[in-house]
Amino acid sequence: MYNRGCIVNSLVFLIIVFLPGVGHIIETIMILEDDHTATGKALWLVVIWALPFLGPFLYLMFGQHPVNRGRVMFGQAGY
């Protein structure tokens, strides 16, 4: 699974809002690269293509698995 940061997700959201066709293609690629089962991928693809503005937003909010990293305390190196 690829680790996409907050900035990347924000940029994808803006593309989805202002260029829906391009945004749907980017979302499709993101779904196919993510670590979902074949059924999960198919369902997310149906959601984003059936619900033009709401579907991609739902995927960005709920469809991506969180990356499990340890907590980083302020003032400590994050490596």
Please identify which residue in the block is written with the tokens 């907050």.
6
φ, ψ at 69 (rounded to 5°)? -115, 155
pLDDT at 30: 85
Tokens 């693809």 label which residue? Answer: 45
Residue 72 has pLDDT above 60, yes or no: no
**Averaged pLDDT, 56-68:** 77
pLDDT per position as a tens digit, 11-53: 877 777 777 777 788 888 888 988 889 999 999 999 988 987 7
Q: What pTM was estimated for this model as a whole?
A: 0.62
Distance CA 71, CA 29 (A): 30
Domains of the chain, by residue range, sit at: 19-63
pLDDT for the residue numbered 45? 93
- Residue predicted with more confidence, 71 or 34: 34
Residue 23 CB neighbours (<10 A):
20
| Euclidean distance between CA atoms 34 and 40, whole angstroms | 10
